[in-house]
């Protein structure tokens, strides 16, 4: 009788995911006993879970054994995935901090929200550490299903329902592309392991002309592009971001995007380096399109959430520039950028949560008239986030862009860098427009409904620190990012 | 002490910002007093720079500490001054207290925020003038934009928002291209074995003339927008007209100098071949700017706009002098930068004084003011003459040297055309002066105007004094600049020769350095 060897289970490799999922499940149970008006406590509990997970991530980083591979090499906890896990945890924590006030206002403070966020985060982590196409897909599904629910979480609001449904339909559609691409790749190479695919291609160099393989790669690129909302696969983003509950928009715009990039990077840079010339010219076009479409469309948005949705498309475009460069500087730049993006974008969304009123009201740019002088500290924070998003020193957003464009220039993609920086000059217009309303027009409102709860204050403090400190002294985090680059 | 003095001076206003942050919002005089105190203190701190300055071509008061080392990058906090930046630094610290003083009654709303913006702006400007590390320079260069944007946009006139955004986007568009160029320059340096943004090292780099062209164009465009050179000057008249008085003063006196300073410090010594190649183009644009701006100034109905266009014309002279690339030309250009700071700054202050009294700047609303305001008339006359460049005032020395330098260089015919700009400037300035100050005092509103008060006189006296000092005895200023200017000229010429004799000038990467991938344009 044939025996099936059970692969050694190395829990160290999936420690963060495990803890996070366990906490989520426990919270689901606890939720039953928590009365509706106290659901915020679940948020605090989930924050504790996140902190504990973060500690394991840090431990993993400092562990003597650098690479923790498990489940016959379908997950790999390396510094690359650990760095991204840090980003996911930061974005989850910041989003949770701004959630309770919003949910109470909108009357949808259901306790399931927090476990869903944790599950989504666990899914993202699996995507970042997956070294098998199947693991990546699993992670993606865990993430996506949780996100579909989160996008439609504000049940009473038609737009939120629309967002949930739209996200679900288009997400399922794009997942189909991705899965089909993976299947074709498997058909062509006979394996779903990323390292094995690379090995196969290097042994059979002529295989790069195999149509099945090429189509497989293209379909995977399309699938990932959907997830990171790269133009022309970005159509779902504005509606979903506008309709989803604001804290969830903040969450969706950062974490899942970073996770998409993590998987995208790993698959393309490790499994498909043989196609480098092909996919880098494909991504070149995608990057230019994404930046330009995002920025130009953002110029005439009135709804601030929609504007930031387009801005997040543009930011995906900048990150793609780093991807095209595909060198150490560019990849480190991507990681640094995603981390700073977590701080600056969620920070901006925290302000949107504060200024917004029940029923997703007060989300237009013109509703910010006079805000900066009525609430100088919040105004200052918002300005810092916006300047950082626009890439103006001394904010972290600038250093990130600097690094990404440096990577491109180092590889000789001068024109891509020029298009990129010009795009960031265009983006200045719409970020400044918010500030025009905040500071340069006379106030019409008193903004007296605005209530800064301690959790939002903590979120804002962290976000401002996360924008300014790495902006002025970036070396520390850049060093981490450099170490996390996997080649 | 020598090492820290520049940093102390630069970040002193930042301390002021922090103090202001915790001051009560409504005690306006306290806020103003604090800002004034900080700017005066900054000026005093900057004075030892003049007394301790050794008249040679070296960078002095240098402080160089590593700041960011990550991956292939090494950014340093590297600051220092030479004869070129010395006077611009002093000009900045000198103008700032006057600018603060000028807003005493002009700005009544949001005083705290205004003072914070002014002080932040000072940090940015001083930092940009003293940076010897390109990355550091870029940070300060961008940092200046933010407070100026708010100064125009919040405290400006009717079209303030449009003006503020135009100012920001124009400058930003130029500077992001410079960012690309400076990264590319860095990697060129890496190829030659040095990991540094320090211009002292980058000066020694021999760059392929074809690449120089692109890099120079990127830097030059960014600086040209700031100068502003025709045809990218359109943001300036708007920004000047809409900005509050202090904003206009700082914009004219210091911010525009960033552009011309950028040429002297970065664009020309770093890319001498390209600079030489583009000299005719830039000189042409400068001369067009001189004539065009003068003609446009002549037909302005708004005094402030007139002064703004005169700024464009004056900066054209500066550019012409710099690109003459000889001792007289560059010295004249540098001196003219200071002169323009003093006299145009003073002109904007004067416009501010009458605007505060009458809330109009239209020339047709005035007439005969000299009868009502004799002190004002005297000062205005002196400043006007200085702006025209009458001998005995500072404007004359600068313009004369510029034209002399240009005439002796290849730019002879440009100089000839530019000289007509001198006449034109006399036409529009004197004509404006005549319409505002002389004639019948027929407008009843003007008949009750009060003459300058003590504070206003206190602002103008130092400026008027400087106009005469620099006009009669410019030697101390020129002497301190001269070695540094010689160095700039030499750098331009020797590198030019070196590049001409060996066109490719390949640089062998040092053995222990990992050569970076080549930079090609895809």
Could you read off the pLDDT of B172-193 as tens digits, one per residue?
888 888 999 989 999 888 888 8
Output the six-digit token pair for B336.
């003219």
CA distance B137 to B125: 10
The model's pLDDT over B284-325, given as tens digits with 9 standing for 90+, comes to 999 999 999 999 988 888 888 888 898 888 899 899 898 888
Q: Which of A1-5, A199-203, A460-464, B57-61 has the highest mean pLDDT?
A: A460-464
Q: Is the pLDDT of residue B409 over 90?
A: no
Pairing of strands A68-70, A75-77: antiparallel
Using a CB–CB cutoff of 8 Å, tell me whether B65 touches chain A.
no
- Among residues A393, A385, A369, A391, the alpha carbon closest in space to that of A460 is found at A385
CB < 8 Å to B179, chain A: 402, 405, 421
According to the model, what pLDDT value does residue A138 have?
A: 92
CB-neighbour burial class of residue A233 (10 A; exposed 0-12, middle 13-18, buried 19+) = buried
Is residue B90 exposed (0-12), middle (13-18) or buried (19+ Cβ within 10 Å)?
buried
Residue B521: the pLDDT is: 44
What is the 3 state secondary structure string of B48-99? Answer: HHHHCCCCCCCCEEEEEEEEEEECCEEEEEEEEECHHHHHHHHHHHHHHHHH
Check whether B33 has a pLDDT greater than 70: yes
Q: Please, what sign has the CA dihedral across residues B208, B211, B213, B216? A: negative
What are the Cα distances from residue A376, in Å, to A286, A313, A383, A453? 40, 29, 10, 17
Kindly state the average pLDDT of the residues A367-373. Answer: 85
In chain B, residues 144-183 whose CB comes closer than 8 Å to chain A:
145-146, 149-150, 153-154, 160-161, 164-165, 168-169, 172-173, 176-177, 179-180, 183
Under the banding of pLDDT at 50, 70 and 90, the label for residue B512 is very low
CA A460, CA A464: separation in Å to the nearest integer?
6
What distance in Å separates residue A412's CA from the closest CA in chain B?
Answer: 5
Query: How many whole angstroms separate alpha carbon A60 and alpha carbon A81?
Result: 10
Nearest CB neighbour to B522, from listed A413, A424, A479: A413
Mutation choice for A interface testing from B128, B146, B176 by most A CBs within 10 A: B176
Shortest CA gap A472–chain B (Å): 9
Q: Are A220 and A188 in contact (CB under 8 A)?
A: no
Cross-chain Cβ contact B71/A478 below 8 Å: yes
Give Cβ neighbours of residue B203 (< 8 Å, ≥ 6 apart): B269, B270, B491
Torsion, Cα A303 A304 A306 A309, to 10 degrees, reads 170
What is the pLDDT at residue A116? 92
Determine if residue A485 is left, alpha or beta; phi over 0 gives left, psi from -120 to 50 gives alpha, anything else beta. beta
**pLDDT per residue over A320-363, tens digit each?**
999 998 888 889 999 999 999 999 999 999 999 888 887 777 78
Going by DSSP bridges, is the β-strand pair A75-77/B60-70 parallel, antiparallel, or unpaired?
A: unpaired
Q: What's the mean pLDDT in A61-67?
A: 77
Distance CA A176, CA A117 (A): 24
pLDDT greater than 70 at residue A2: no
What is the phi/psi pair of residue B61, to 5°?
55, 35
CB B522 to CB A425 under 8 A? no
Distance (Å, rounded) from C-alpha B297 to C-alpha B240? 13
Q: Collect all residues with Cβ–Cβ distance below 8 Å to B28 and sequence separation of at least 6.
A: B108, B111
In the structure, what pLDDT confidence band is assigned to residue A87 with cuts at 50, 70 and 90? very high
Q: What is the average pLDDT across A365-372? A: 85
Contacts of B495 (CB under 8 A, 6+ apart): B206, B272, B273
Q: How confident is the model at residue B374 (pLDDT cuts 50, 70, 90)?
A: confident
| Mean residue pLDDT across chain A | 88
Q: What is the mean pLDDT of residues A439-465?
A: 86
Q: Is the pLDDT of residue B499 over 80?
A: no
HSE-up of residue A229 (Cα within 13 Å, Cβ side) = 29
- Using an 8 Å CB-CB cutoff, list chain A residues near B519: 409-410, 412, 414
The stretch B441-455 carries a mean pLDDT of 80
Q: What's the CA dihedral at B228, B401, B434, B307 to 10 degrees?
A: 10
From the list A261, A220, A234, A233, the residue with the least C-alpha distance to A91 is A261
Q: What's residue A139's pLDDT?
A: 92
Report the residue from B110, B146, B153 with minimal CB separation from A373. Answer: B110
**Rounded Cα distance, A318 and A417, in Å:** 9
Q: Which of A425, A443, A483 to mutate to test the interface with B (most CBs of B within 10 A)?
A: A425
In contact, A425 and A295? CB cutoff 8 Å: no
Distance (Å, whole) CA B366 – CA B373: 12
pLDDT of residue B508: 40
pTM of the complete model: 0.90
Residues of B in contact with A324 (CB under 8 A): none
Q: Taking residues B200-204, what's their average pLDDT?
A: 84
Task: Note the pLDDT of residue B408.
Answer: 85
Q: H/E element holding B522?
A: none
**Strands B73-81 and B60-70, bridge-based pairing:** antiparallel
Q: Do B160 and A440 touch (CB under 8 A)?
A: yes
- How many contacts does A have with B, using Cβ atoms within 8 A? 109
Please, are residues B430 and B355 in contact by the beta-carbon 8 Å criterion? no
Among chain A, residues having any CB pair with chain B shorter than 8 Å are 327-329, 332, 373, 376, 387, 392-394, 398, 402-403, 405-406, 409-418, 421-422, 424-425, 428-429, 432-433, 435-436, 439-441, 473-475, 478-479, 482
Residue B370's pLDDT is: 80
Sorted by sequence, the CB contacts under 8 Å of residue A447 that are 6+ apart come out as A355, A371, A374, A375
B71 contacts in A (CB within 8 Å)?
A: 328-329, 332, 403, 478, 482
Q: Which of A402, A412, A433 lies closest to B522 in CB terms?
A: A412
The residue among B156, B158, B172, B242 with the most chain A CBs within 10 A of its CB, best to mutate, is B172
Cβ contact B313:B447 at 8 Å: no
Dist. CA A264–CA A262, nearest whole Å: 6
Short-list B99, B380, B139, CA closest to B243: B99
Decide if B70 and A479 are in contact by the 8 Å CB cutoff. yes
Q: How far apart are CA B393 and CA B85, in angstroms?
A: 23
Q: Which pLDDT score, from 0 to 100, does residue B1 have?
A: 60
The token pair at A378 is: 């919040």
Residue with tokens 């200071």: B338
How close B201 gets to chain A, by Cα (Å)?
A: 20
Write out the two tokens for A238: 């504005």
Q: Output phi, psi for B27, to 5 deg.
A: -85, 80
- For the record, the structure tokens of A477 come out as 């985090």
> What is the Cβ-side half-sphere exposure of residue A345, based on CA atoms within 13 angstroms?
35
pLDDT band at A105 (very low <50, low <70, confident <90, very high): confident
Contact A72, A7 (CB under 8 A): yes
Q: What tokens does B514 get?
A: 């990992």
pLDDT at B231 over 70: yes
Q: For residue B461, how many other CB atoms are within 10 A of its CB?
A: 11
Instruction: Report percent pLDDT > 70 for chain A.
Output: 98
CB contact under 8 A, A475 and B149: no
Residues of A in contact with B21 (CB under 8 A): none
Q: What is the pLDDT of residue B514?
A: 43
Alpha helix (H) ranges present in B373-512? 374-388, 394-408, 412-437, 454-472, 475-501
What pLDDT does residue B27 have?
Answer: 84
Radius of gyration of chain B (CA): 23
């Amino acid at each position: 009788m044939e025996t099936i060897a059970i692969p050694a289970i190395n829990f160290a490799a999936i420690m963060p995911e495990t803890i996070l999922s366990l906490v989520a499940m426990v919270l689901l149970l606890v939720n039953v006993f928590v009365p509706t008006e106290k659901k915020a406590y679940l948020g605090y509990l989930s924050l504790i879970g996140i902190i504990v997970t973060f500690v394991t991530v840090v431990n993993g980083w400092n562990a003597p054994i650098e690479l923790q591979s498990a489940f016959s090499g379908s997950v790999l906890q390396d510094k690359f995935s650990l760095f991204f896990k840090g980003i996911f945890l930061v974005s989850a924590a910041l989003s949770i901090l701004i959630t309770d006030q919003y949910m109470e206002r909108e009357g949808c403070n259901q306790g399931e929200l927090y476990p869903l966020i944790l599950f989504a985060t666990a899914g993202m982590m699996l995507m970042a550490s997956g070294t098998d196409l199947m693991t990546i897909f699993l992670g993606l599904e865990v993430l996506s299903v949780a996100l579909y629910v989160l996008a439609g979480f504000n049940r009473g609001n038609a737009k939120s329902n629309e967002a949930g449904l739209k996200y679900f339909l288009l997400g399922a559609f794009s997942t189909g592309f991705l899965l089909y691409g993976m299947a074709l790749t498997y058909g062509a190479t006979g394996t779903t392991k990323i390292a094995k695919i690379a090995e196969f291609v290097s042994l059979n160099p002529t295989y790069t002309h195999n149509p099945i393989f090429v189509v497989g790669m293209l379909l995977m690129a399309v699938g990932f592009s959907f997830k990171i909302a790269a133009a022309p696969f970005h159509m779902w983003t504005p509606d979903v971001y506008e309709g989803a509950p604001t804290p969830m928009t903040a969450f969706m715009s950062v974490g899942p995007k970073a996770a998409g990039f993590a998987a995208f990077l790993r698959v393309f840079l490790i499994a498909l380096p043989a196609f480098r010339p092909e996919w880098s010219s494909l991504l070149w076009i995608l990057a230019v399109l994404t930046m330009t479409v995002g920025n130009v469309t953002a110029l005439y948005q009135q709804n601030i959430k929609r504007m930031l949705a387009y801005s997040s498309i543009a930011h995906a475009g900048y990150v793609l520039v780093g991807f095209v460069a595909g060198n150490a500087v560019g990849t480190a730049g991507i990681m640094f950028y995603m981390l700073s993006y977590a701080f600056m974008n969620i920070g901006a969304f925290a302000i949107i949560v504060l200024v917004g009123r029940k029923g997703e009201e007060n989300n237009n740019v013109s509703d910010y008239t006079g805000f900066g002088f009525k609430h100088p500290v919040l105004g200052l924070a918002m300005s810092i986030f916006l300047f950082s998003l626009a890439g103006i020193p001394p904010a972290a957003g600038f250093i990130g862009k600097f690094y990404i464009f440096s990577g491109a220039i180092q590889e000789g993609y001068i024109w891509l860098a020029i298009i990129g920086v010009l795009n960031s000059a265009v983006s200045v217009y719409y970020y400044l427009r918010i500030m025009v309303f905040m500071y340069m027009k006379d106030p019409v409102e008193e903004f007296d409904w605005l209530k800064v709860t301690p959790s939002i204050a903590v979120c804002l403090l962290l976000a401002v620190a996360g924008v300014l400190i790495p902006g002025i002294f970036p070396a520390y985090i850049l060093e981490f990012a450099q170490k996390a680059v996997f080649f | 002490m020598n090492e820290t003095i520049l940093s102390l001076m630069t970040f002193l206003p930042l301390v002021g910002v922090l103090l202001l942050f915790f001051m009560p919002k409504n005690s306006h005089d306290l806020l103003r007093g604090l800002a004034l105190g900080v700017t005066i203190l900054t000026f005093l701190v900057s004075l030892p720079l003049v007394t301790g300055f050794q008249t040679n071509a070296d960078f002095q008061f240098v402080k160089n500490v590593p700041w960011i080392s990550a991956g292939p990058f090494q950014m340093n906090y590297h600051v220092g001054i030479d004869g070129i930046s010395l006077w611009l630094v002093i000009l900045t610290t000198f103008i700032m207290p006057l600018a603060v003083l000028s807003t005493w009654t002009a700005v009544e709303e949001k005083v705290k925020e205004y003072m914070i913006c002014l002080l932040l702006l000072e940090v940015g400007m001083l930092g940009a003038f003293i940076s010897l590390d390109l990355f550091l320079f870029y940070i300060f260069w961008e940092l200046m934009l933010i407070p100026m944007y708010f100064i125009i946009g919040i405290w400006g006139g009717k079209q303030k928002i449009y003006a503020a955004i135009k100012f920001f986007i124009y400058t930003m568009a130029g500077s992001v291209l410079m960012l690309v160029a400076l990264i590319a320059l860095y990697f060129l340096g890496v190829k030659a074995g040095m990991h540094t943004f320090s211009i002292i090292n980058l000066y020694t780099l021999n760059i392929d003339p074809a690449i120089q062209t692109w890099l120079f164009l990127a830097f030059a465009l960014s600086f040209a927008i700031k100068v502003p050179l025709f045809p990218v000057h359109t943001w300036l008249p708007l920004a000047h007209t809409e900005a509050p008085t202090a904003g206009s003063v700082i914009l004219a006196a210091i911010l525009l100098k960033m552009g011309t300073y950028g040429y002297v410090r970065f664009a020309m010594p770093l890319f001498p071949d390209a600079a030489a190649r583009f000299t005719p183009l830039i000189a042409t644009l400068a001369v067009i700017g001189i004539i065009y701006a003068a003609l446009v100034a002549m037909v302005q109905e708004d005094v402030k706009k007139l002064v703004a266009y005169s700024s464009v014309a004056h900066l054209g002279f500066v550019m012409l002098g710099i690109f003459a690339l000889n001792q007289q030309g560059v010295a004249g250009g540098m001196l003219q930068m200071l002169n323009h700071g003093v006299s145009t700054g003073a002109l904007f202050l004067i416009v501010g004084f009458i605007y505060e009294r009458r809330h109009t700047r239209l020339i047709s609303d005035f007439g005969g003011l000299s009868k009502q305001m004799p002190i004002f008339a005297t000062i205005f006359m002196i400043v006007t003459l200085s702006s025209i460049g009458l001998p005995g005032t500072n404007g004359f020395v600068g313009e004369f040297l510029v034209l002399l330098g240009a005439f002796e260089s290849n730019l002879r015919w440009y100089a000839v055309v530019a000289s007509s700009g001198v006449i034109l400037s006399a036409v529009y300035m004197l004509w404006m002066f005549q319409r505002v100050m002389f004639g019948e005092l027929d407008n009843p509103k003007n008949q009750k105007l009060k003459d300058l008060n003590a504070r206003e006189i206190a602002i103008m006296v130092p400026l008027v004094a400087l106009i005469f000092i620099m006009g009669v005895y410019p030697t101390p200023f020129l002497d301190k600049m001269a070695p540094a200017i010689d160095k700039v000229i030499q750098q331009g010429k020797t590198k030019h020769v070196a590049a001409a004799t060996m066109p490719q000038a390949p640089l062998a990467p040092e053995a222990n350095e990992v050569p970076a991938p080549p930079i090609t344009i895809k």
